[in-house]
């Protein structure tokens, strides 16, 4: 295995909508390059990068996998990423370390929702983007329609550097618009070149001329040459495409059929010729230990540094960390320092991953991607550096989970096993979250969608032998008051010896939404001794945590303690705490209590044709549409809706849009529950509490 310098490495993330054939392209690249002796298949369950049990069963990529090919004395690292909405954030982490995004588009379907999403990710990290129109052998595939869809979504600077020879079942190769040659492929993916077919010559000339004009207008030197001579040489065109693609001024478009290995060899050629090498970026930004700005050159003669962008939990090998080496070299003698955790690590072996196959190598240089197994204390997002020259690279921040389920073990006593197993899943998938809801006392497993959570539950069973029940979570309602009240809370008890006496008068009034709780002491003249006033507040705090209507916390109100009385012998902190509790309950009863529910900000993206139905559905969920905009063929709907109505939205949206819609949801505020619904919620809560009390007895 050769050791490659930075200039001979290409780091490419294959991203795009689910079902566009990214995994098949990686399989074909391995086959065509000679790295695999047969063509892996997603349908047959033997694709090199879809080896996880869940991926084989569901026939879809669930998390980013890595493979590499050696091609024309270059090493091309391929990151095969998920394209389905629930898992799309994993593609974002891959783009964080990639130097090129290969956006894969289905030739018949055109640009779909998740392709737009990953395009935004590439823009976020300023990653040069190439577009591969895959599955050009599909029925209804069309060069003109696919190109129109691409340019509508991504602009006119998305320009073909190839056009297909034939479409649908007649697709057999591509015309190279730089060298103006026809490239046809046999069953093994090998390419043969010939003159351009006569029926394609005019189209090839037209698209080459458009490509030359686009390259020239992006570069002053080439523009001058173009004005003088009316054209550019092949070498100038290659250089222009490479330079302008690197700064996202041009987005080269290519064509292929991955499952038949048509166009894959020319794709690898294009990545070698036009995709930027890692060192081209010059330097990568980070911070020093104190948070000050710092940069590190992407070069082998710099101190070692690397970013951990992915963790894989292997049942046999254990934890495997995928690293992007930003500077220096990594060998089995390197002793990296984990800046975040302030700990040093040892390296057993430096490995390269080709799907689940691992290859041990002596070293990897700056710009390369490698893996290390069994780090002691390394997690996704950590920076590893030379301890003498530390730098910290910014970690990818995952979005808040969109859906939560209450989780409980099928077998009693498995709570600890569940917690341990879920923590291992979270190491591999930071998009998951596991926490206890203090109000409802439920353990919640949260993720980017229902499928995301279901995959995690399936892995719990298959990997760790833990079976669980999933339930929709309880909605964290709140209670508040709309009116004002003045009451007295008096606790008096005589037991034969010292008695108990506490007496307080309070005034309650509403606060603006979000005001939570405010306690004001207006006692004058020692009506209540100072040492007992905190006890009154404590009694109120304890009572408000349990609410009055349905057992939910009471919020957004102000309590003013303005009078009271005490007994020199019988008064105590406990007596005044009970008095405060009694006063709170009386006050709430008189102050028009109401139930509040969480209201969420919702952003939905789906093809335009579904917009009307989706807005109607939101209205039926008591949602309020705030606005809608159109991006290309995608509608973006912004709305607010109660959380209680959105618990099943992930699966409903998938059903309504055929999997072409996605949404994000975040808490915004609490609002009053309509009276008819509030009565049902209160009755259900009281029934549940009665049942719990009977169980306790």
The residues, any chain, with a CB within 8 Å of residue 53's CB and separated by 6 or more, are: 462
Is the pLDDT assigned to residue 132 strictly greater than 90? yes
Of 427, 421, 584, 592, the C-alpha closest to 505 is 584
- Nearest 5°: CA angle at 632, between 628 and 633? 80
* pLDDT confidence bin for 696, thresholds 50/70/90: very low
d(CA 198, CA 631): 38
User: When comparing pLDDT for 399 and 638, which is higher?
Assistant: 638
The residues, any chain, with a CB within 8 Å of residue 609's CB and separated by 6 or more, are: none
Element (H, E) at 415: helix 415-428
What phi, psi does 511 have (nearest 5°)? -110, 160
d(CA 456, CA 426): 9
Pairing of strands 634-642, 593-607: antiparallel
Assign 3-class secondary structure to 63-84. CCEEEEEEECCEEEEEEECCCC
Count of CB atoms situated within 10 Å of the CB of 652: 16
* pLDDT confidence bin for 695, thresholds 50/70/90: very low
DSSP string computed for 16-79: -STTS-HHHHHHHHHHHHTS-SS---TTTT--TT--SHHHHHHTS--S-EEEEEEETTEEEEEE
For residue 315, the SS3 value is coil
pLDDT tens for 566-587 read: 999 999 999 999 999 999 999 9
Is the pLDDT assigned to residue 402 strictly greater than 80? no
pLDDT tens for 45-69 read: 999 999 999 999 999 999 999 999 9
Distances (CA, A) of 201 to 171, 215, 529: 17, 21, 98
pLDDT tens for 629-675 read: 987 678 899 999 998 999 888 778 988 988 778 787 778 899 999 99
Long-range contacts (CB closer than 8 Å, 24 or more residues apart) made by 675-682: 678/549, 678/594, 678/595, 681/477, 681/550, 681/595, 682/549, 682/550, 682/595
Is the pLDDT assigned to residue 697 strictly greater than 70? no
Greatest Cα-to-Cα distance within the chain, rounded to the nearest angstrom = 113
Report pLDDT for 200.
97
d(CA 467, CA 307): 35
69 touches 84 (CB < 8 A): no
Q: What percent of the chain has pLDDT over 90?
A: 78
What phi, psi does 284 have (nearest 5°)? -120, 140
Count of CB atoms situated within 10 Å of the CB of 224: 11
Token pair, residue 203, equals 């189209």
Is the pLDDT assigned to residue 693 strictly greater than 70? no
- Cα-to-chain-centroid distance, residue 126: 18
The pLDDT of 424-435, averaged and rounded, is 92
Token pair, residue 169, equals 């079942």
Pairing of strands 662-672, 593-607: antiparallel
DSSP bridge pairs for 436: 443
Of 399, 458, 457, 453, the C-alpha closest to 650 is 453
Report pLDDT for 692.
57
pLDDT tens for 294-343 read: 999 999 999 999 999 999 987 777 899 999 999 999 999 999 999 999 99
For residue 112, the SS3 value is coil
Of 594, 607, 602, the C-alpha closest to 623 is 602
The residues, any chain, with a CB within 8 Å of residue 466's CB and separated by 6 or more, are: 409, 414, 417, 418, 421, 460
Q: Tell me the whole-structure pTM to 2 decimals.
A: 0.80
DSSP 474: P
The pLDDT of 595-614, averaged and rounded, is 92
Count of CB atoms situated within 10 Å of the CB of 359: 13
Is the pLDDT assigned to residue 234 strictly greater than 90? yes
The answer to which of 367-371, 416-420, 559-563 has the lowest mean pLDDT is: 416-420
Q: Say if residue 95 is exposed, middle or buried (CB neighbours under 10 Å; 0-12, 13-18, 19+).
A: buried
Token pair, residue 226, equals 């173009």
User: When comparing pLDDT for 476 and 249, which is higher?
Assistant: 249
Assign 3-class secondary structure to 505-538. EEEEEECCCCCCEEEEECCCCCCCCHHHHHHHHH
Long-range contacts (CB closer than 8 Å, 24 or more residues apart) made by 424-428: 424/313, 424/464, 425/313, 425/456, 425/459, 425/460, 427/311, 427/313, 427/319, 427/379, 427/380, 428/63, 428/311, 428/312, 428/313
Domains detected in the chain: 6-172+250-280 (3.40.50.300), 283-385 (2.40.30.10), 403-474 (3.30.70.870), 479-591 (3.30.230.10), 597-676 (3.30.70.240)
Q: What percent of the chain has pLDDT over 70?
A: 98
Counts for the chain of helices (H) and strands (E), in that order = 16, 36
pLDDT tens for 506-537 read: 999 999 998 999 999 999 999 999 999 999 99
Report pLDDT for 439.
65
d(CA 120, CA 91): 11
């Amino acid at each position: 295995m050769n050791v490659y310098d930075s200039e001979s490495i290409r780091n490419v993330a294959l991203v795009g909508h689910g079902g566009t054939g990214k995994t098949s392209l990686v399989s074909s690249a391995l086959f065509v390059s000679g790295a695999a002796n047969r063509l892996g298949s997603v349908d047959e369950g033997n694709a090199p990068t879809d080896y996880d049990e869940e991926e084989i069963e569901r026939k879809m990529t669930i998390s980013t996998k890595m493979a590499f090919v050696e091609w024309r004395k270059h090493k091309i690292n391929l990151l095969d990423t998920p394209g389905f909405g629930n898992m799309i954030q994993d593609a974002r982490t891959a783009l964080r370390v990639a130097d090129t995004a290969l956006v894969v588009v289905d030739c018949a379907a055109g640009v779909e929702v998740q392709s737009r999403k990953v395009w935004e990710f590439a823009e976020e990290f300023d990653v040069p983007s190439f577009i591969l129109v895959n599955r050009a052998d599909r029925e209804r595939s069309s060069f003109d329609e696919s190109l129109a869809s691409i340019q509508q979504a991504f602009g006119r600077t998305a320009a073909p550097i190839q056009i297909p020879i034939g479409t649908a079942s007649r697709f057999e190769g591509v015309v190279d618009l730089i060298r103006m040659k026809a490239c046809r492929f046999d069953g093994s993916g090998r390419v043969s070149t010939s003159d351009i077919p006569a029926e394609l010559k005019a189209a090839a000339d037209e698209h080459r001329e458009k490509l030359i004009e686009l390259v020239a207008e992006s570069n002053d030197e080439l523009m001058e040459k173009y004005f003088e001579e009316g054209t550019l040489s092949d070498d100038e065109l290659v250089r222009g495409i490479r330079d302008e693609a690197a700064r996202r001024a041009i987005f080269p478009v290519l064509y292929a059929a991955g499952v038949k290995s048509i166009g894959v060899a020319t794709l690898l050629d294009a990545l070698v010729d036009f995709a930027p090498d890692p060192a081209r970026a010059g330097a990568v930004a980070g911070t020093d230990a104190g948070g000050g700005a710092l940069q590190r050159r992407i070069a082998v003669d710099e101190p070692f540094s690397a970013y951990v962008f992915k963790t894989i939990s292997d049942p046999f090998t254990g934890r495997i960390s995928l690293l992007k080496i930003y500077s220096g070299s990594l060998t089995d003698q390197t002793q990296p320092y984990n800046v975040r955790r302030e700990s040093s690590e040892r390296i057993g072996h430096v490995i390269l991953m080709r799907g689940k196959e691992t290859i041990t190598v002596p070293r990897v240089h700056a710009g390369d991607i490698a893996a290390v197994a069994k780090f002691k204390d390394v997690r996704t997002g950590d920076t590893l550096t030379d301890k003498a020259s530390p730098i910290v690279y910014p970690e990818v921040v995952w979005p808040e989970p969109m859906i939560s389920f209450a989780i409980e073990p099928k077998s009693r006593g498995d709570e600890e096993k569940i917690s341990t197993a879920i923590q291992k899943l979270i190491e591999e998938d930071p998009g998951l979250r596991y926490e206890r809801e203090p109000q409802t006392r439920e353990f919640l497993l949260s993720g980017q969608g229902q499928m995301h959570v279901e995959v995690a539950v399936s892995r719990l069973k298959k990997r760790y032998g833990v079976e669980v029940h999933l339930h929709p979570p309880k909605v964290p309602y709140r209670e508040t008051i709309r009116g004002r009240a003045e009451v007295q809370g008096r606790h008096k008890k005589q037991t034969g010896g010292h008695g108990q006496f506490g007496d307080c008068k309070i005034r309650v009034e509403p606060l603006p939404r979000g005001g939570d709780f405010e306690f004001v002491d207006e006692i004058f003249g020692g009506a209540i001794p100072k040492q007992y006033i905190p006890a009154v507040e404590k009694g109120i705090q304890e009572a408000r945590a349990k609410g009055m209507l349905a057992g939910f916390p009471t919020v957004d109100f102000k309590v003013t303690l303005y009078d009271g009385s005490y007994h020199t012998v019988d008064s105590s902190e406990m007596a005044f705490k009970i008095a405060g509790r009694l006063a709170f309950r009386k006050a709430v009863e008189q102050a028009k209590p109401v139930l509040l529910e969480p209201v969420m900000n919702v952003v939905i993206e789906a093809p335009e044709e579904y917009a009307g139905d989706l807005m109607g559905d939101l209205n039926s969920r008591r949602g309020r549409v705030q606005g809608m905009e159109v991006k290309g063929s995608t509608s973006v709907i912004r709305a607010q809706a109660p959380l209680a109505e959105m618990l099943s939205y992930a699966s409903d949206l998938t059903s309504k849009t055929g999997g072409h819609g996605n949404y994000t949801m975040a808490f915004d505020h609490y609002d009053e529950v309509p009276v008819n619904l509030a009565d049902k919620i209160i009755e259900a809560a009281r029934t549940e509490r009665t049942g719990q009390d009977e169980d306790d007895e």
